[in-house]
A and B are shown apart, each in its own frame.
Chain A
């Protein structure tokens, strides 16, 4: 089974703090993604990466950055957390081929106070 592991399930951070969300996958997938999910807005893509050290902006990259130093690990960074970044963050991975589905981690619930 594919395993996508997000390091933190629940976090509470203060406004202005730097926040790291870590994601590791164990299936040698080339592609990795970060989404956020909010009620009424659905899943929105923040950033994705199709190779080590490569990154592409998604639909809502403002206020976020990412890092992919190793193939299995994709980190989401909030340089200065704000209350409007309170959300559920989902990491996902997939193989390159178009027909391959993406596999999600369990999600990280971030509250910024």
Chain B
């Protein structure tokens, strides 16, 4: 089966750094994605990891360890607009295999 776990909710302070963890157990692995979803809106793509290590993109970074089935999304210099749900998704095989999503982590950024 496929299982993707991430915390349900997190709260962090404006200007701080927050790390959102994701662990996965899937039948195979061919990439991990992070999406951001503001309330009432569609998810938007943030990052993609297929090899171990850190991918940095501005204030957002994503890390992957395939041997541990683990990823995290790191958000630096938090802003109020970063309050959203963050979805971890895994593609378990090549080609047309759909993404399997975790249930999402709702992040609240407070002043």
Using CB atoms and an 8 Å cutoff, list the residues of chain A in contact with chain B: 30-31, 33, 35, 40-45, 48, 50, 58, 90, 96-99, 101-107
The 7 lowest CB-CB distance pairs between A and B, nearest first, are: A42-B103, A104-B42, A43-B101, A50-B96, A101-B45, A98-B30, A106-B42
Using CB atoms and an 8 Å cutoff, list the residues of chain B in contact with chain A: 30-31, 33, 40-45, 48, 50, 87, 89, 91, 94-104
Interface contact tally, CB-CB below 8 A: 54
Known: A104-B44, A105-B42. A31 touches B96 (CB 8 A): yes
Q: Which residues of A contact B101 (CB under 8 A)?
A: 35, 42-44
A101, B42: Cβ atoms closer than 8 Å: no
Distance A40 CA – B50 CA, assembled complex (angstroms): 27
Please name 10 further chain A to chain B contacts, defined as beta carbons within 8 Å, in addition to the given A43-B89, A102-B45, sorted by A numbering: A31-B96, A42-B101, A42-B102, A43-B101, A90-B42, A97-B95, A98-B91, A98-B97, A101-B48, A106-B41
